[in-house]
Amino acid sequence: MKISREIKTAVLVISGVLLFIYLFNYLKGQDLFSDEVQFYTEFEYNALTMSSPVTIKGNVVGKVEDIKYDFKSGMTRVEFSVDPRLSFSKSSKIRLYETGIMGGNALAVIDSYEGEKAKKGDFIKSEIQPGLISSLKDNFSGLSTNLDKTLRSADTLMVSLNDFVSDETDAGLKATIAELNATLKAFKNLSFSIQNVVKANDEKISETLESFKTASANLSILSEDLKKAELSKTIGDFDKTLLSINGLLDSFEKGEGSLGKLLKDDKLYNNLEAASKEMELLLLDIKLHPARYRRILSKKEIPYEAPTEDQLQKN
């Protein structure tokens, strides 16, 4: 059977159109003959491009197929496809992350391993992982402020150095450098002297450090002994004793007990004073009239005579 030229031309045209459609979709990242499973997710903004990779645990398992803006919700709807052999749960998350400083963005499947398995056409929730660029962008204001302060400090230092060098001629600069060199030499000699002193007294310094170590150890032992001695309990007991003494003094102040009555009862004081006075008179009478008390067994009674004022004053 002979095929006409028109049929050949039509077949070529149709083949060319189909090939063009296939290549066009392939360049867009779509494979018409692919059996990959497609899913959907949403983000608040678009940071992806067509054919951006979809990964799981760092391995590429799919790509972004389509990106559309939803005018009703204001969200960016992303359609992506994965290898049909990949199985993950519907409660998993699709994470948007940066692939590198110079690279773009990609999607990662974060499997939760919980619930039912995701099916073709399911909507998967999304999340965004902060990247290095976004972090630098957020902190750029602080970095620029600190850099500005550093530059101002450097400028102030240079101005101070310029003010320090009053003579800007070559001779003045040489003299300044010479003085600086002399200062550095003097500092070097001083450091050598200190080093020699340390070397000469190395043994004494070691003994001092050893003594300090021993003293610190003794203090540690002393503190441990005080801790074991229950110092807090001793102080508590002493505090209770002081409270008891305060109570006893308070009872004295109120006139309670024998000592309290002795301190506060005027009648008892007066009686004691009168008894003391009579005892004094008795002793005086014994001194003045001893014969009276030698005859205590005698039937003859010797009457009592009160001492005169002169006798009282003499005794």
Q: What is the pLDDT of residues 8-34, one digit of tens each?
A: 788 788 888 887 776 666 665 555 445
Nearest to 108 by CA among 118, 94, 123, 122: 94
Which pLDDT score, from 0 to 100, does residue 195 have? 82
DSSP single-letter state for residue 89: B
The amino acid at 166? S
- State how far the Cα of 183 lies from the Cα of 198, in Å rounded to an integer: 22
Count how many Cα atoms sit within 13 Å of the Cα of residue 67 in the half-sphere of its side chain. 16
b/e code 267-284 from CB counts within 10 Å (16+ = b): eeeeeeeeeeeeeeeeeb
The amino acid at 35? D
Q: What is the pLDDT of residues 266-298, one digit of tens each?
A: 777 777 788 888 888 778 777 777 766 665 555
Whether the Cβ atoms of residue 115 and residue 91 lie closer than 8 Å to each other: yes
Tokens in use for 307? 């001492």
Domain boundaries, the chain: 1-33, 37-134
pLDDT in tens, the chain (315 residues): 566 777 778 878 888 888 777 666 666 555 544 557 889 999 998 888 888 999 999 899 999 989 999 999 999 999 999 999 999 999 999 999 988 766 689 999 999 999 999 999 999 999 988 765 455 555 555 656 666 777 787 777 666 666 655 555 667 667 778 888 888 888 888 888 888 887 878 888 888 888 888 888 888 887 776 666 666 677 778 888 888 888 878 877 777 776 676 666 677 777 778 888 888 877 877 777 776 666 555 555 566 666 677 766 666
CATH architecture of the region 37-134: Beta Barrel (2.40)
Which pLDDT score, from 0 to 100, does residue 151 have? 77
Which pLDDT score, from 0 to 100, does residue 93 have? 94
